[in-house]
Structure formats: structure tokens, C-alpha cells
């Protein structure tokens, strides 16, 4: 008589996701405040003035994560909610990152608001994906990515990526920001502009 070990499989999960980014069963929620955004925006004087005016605890964005399995092949699903605003001429952004395992891809699907996914590679390619509800962007591995809110209401995306991807935020900090910034075009819209501080990305481990 032989005995077989039956693996205990995780059960499928139904997740209720609201257009405002609220989701049931989040395993982690984190928030970023104005004080966490030091060095992110080009106009440092405007940033400091905003900190003085609104306080370092002013909420900028928050993330709900649903990570219920671990290990290769499993997924993290979540929502990112980036509040509207500007620092100087520059629209509100998330910190941005490349995945620590750089070949890991990610999907972002816009649930509400109007925003951009700003994408760059270490070798200097840029891509701007404009997102409104119903539009999604499939971000391949090896692309640095950041959300930008160019609208008047919260920009909410549903994201999904491999749970072993990880995040490398230093790549942007070490380059003194992304190559491209998104600024007011003077007519209530947005335009992409070169970041005068950007020093280039270091070669990666591709
Ligand atoms: Ni990512």
C-alpha cells in the first residue's frame, strides 16, 4: 500500500474591487504622503512650499494589495489611487520603480480618473500610455514605470504582477529622476518635457 501526499492547494479568491480603488480582503495597504516625496519633483522650491503649506502628512497616493499566494508563478493584485495635484508645473506622480527581477511584467487597468503610465528603459526609450476607464497598459519587463495623474479626480488603476517581482526605487533616485516629466501645457492639459536634472540610468543586469 502506498500513500500519496496530496498537496494543499490555495483556493481561488473572488475580489470585489470598487471604482475608487477599495478592495475586499487586501493583505496590505500602504500610503505615501507629501513628506515621502522629497527629491521626486524637479521644482524643489515649489515642493518645500507645499510641504510648509499642507504639511508632510498630506496624502498623495495609497495602494491596496491582495497577495494571497507566495512563490514563483503567483500574483499580486491590487489598486493604486493617486490623488490629483501638481508641484510647480509637474503633475502628481507615484515614486516609480523597475522590478527588482527586471524581466517581470505588469498590467495596469484604469478604473477611474485620467492619468498616464510613464515608461522608460535603462537605454533611454520612453513611452507614455494615456489611461482612462477601460484602458489598460501591458508593461513588459525591463521598463521603469510610474503613474501620473493629469486629471481633476483620483487616478485609480487595478494592477497585477508576479509576486516575486519586487521593486527597485533607487534606479530613479540615482538618475536624479526619470528622463521625462509630465507638466501643465498651459491650457489645462499635459505635455511631456525633458527632465533637466536627469543624469541617465546605469546599465542594468539584463
Ligand atoms: Ni511595478
189 is written with which cell numbers?
492639459
Ligand 1: centre distance to CA 59 (Å):
20
Ligand 1: centre distance to CA 187 (Å):
31
| Residue whose C-alpha cell is 527586471 | 102
Architecture in CATH for domain 28-194: Sandwich (2.60)
Ligand 1: centre distance to CA 155 (Å):
16
**pLDDT, tens digit, 9 for 90 and up, residues 135-166:** 999 999 999 999 999 999 999 999 999 999 99
Q: What is the pLDDT of residue 121?
A: 97
| Residue whose C-alpha cell is 508645473 | 89
Single pTM value for the model:
0.93
Contact call for residues 28 and 163 (beta carbons, < 8 A): no
Show me where the domains of the chain are located: 28-194
SS3 content of the chain, % helix, strand, coil (to 5): 10, 40, 50
**pLDDT, tens digit, 9 for 90 and up, residues 107-142:** 999 999 999 999 999 999 999 999 999 999 999 999
Ligand 1: centre distance to CA 97 (Å):
6
Ligand 1: centre distance to CA 43 (Å):
25
Q: What is the pLDDT of residue 206?
A: 46
Amino acid at each position: 500500500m502506498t500513500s500519496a501526499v496530496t498537496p494543499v492547494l490555495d483556493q481561488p479568491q473572488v475580489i470585489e474591487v470598487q471604482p475608487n480603488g477599495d478592495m475586499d480582503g487586501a493583505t496590505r495597504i500602504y500610503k505615501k504622503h507629501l513628506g515621502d516625496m522629497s527629491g521626486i519633483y524637479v521644482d524643489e522650491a515649489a515642493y518645500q512650499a507645499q510641504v510648509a503649506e499642507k504639511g508632510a502628512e498630506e496624502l498623495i497616493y495609497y495602494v491596496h494589495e491582495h497577495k494571497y499566494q507566495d512563490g514563483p508563478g503567483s500574483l499580486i493584485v491590487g489598486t493604486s489611487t493617486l490623488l490629483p495635484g501638481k508641484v510647480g508645473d509637474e503633475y502628481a506622480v507615484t515614486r516609480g520603480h523597475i522590478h527588482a527581477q527586471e524581466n517581470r511584467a505588469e498590467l495596469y487597468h484604469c478604473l477611474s480618473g485620467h492619468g498616464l503610465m510613464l515608461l522608460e528603459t535603462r537605454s533611454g526609450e520612453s513611452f507614455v500610455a494615456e489611461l482612462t476607464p477601460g484602458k489598460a497598459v501591458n508593461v513588459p519587463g525591463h521598463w521603469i514605470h510610474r503613474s501620473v495623474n493629469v486629471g481633476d479626480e483620483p487616478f485609480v488603476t487595478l494592477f497585477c504582477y508576479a509576486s516575486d517581482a519586487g521593486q527597485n526605487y533607487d534606479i530613479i533616485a540615482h538618475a536624479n529622476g526619470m528622463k521625462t516629466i509630465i507638466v501643465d501645457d498651459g491650457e489645462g492639459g499635459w505635455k511631456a518635457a525633458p527632465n533637466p536634472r536627469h543624469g541617465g540610468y546605469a546599465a542594468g543586469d539584463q
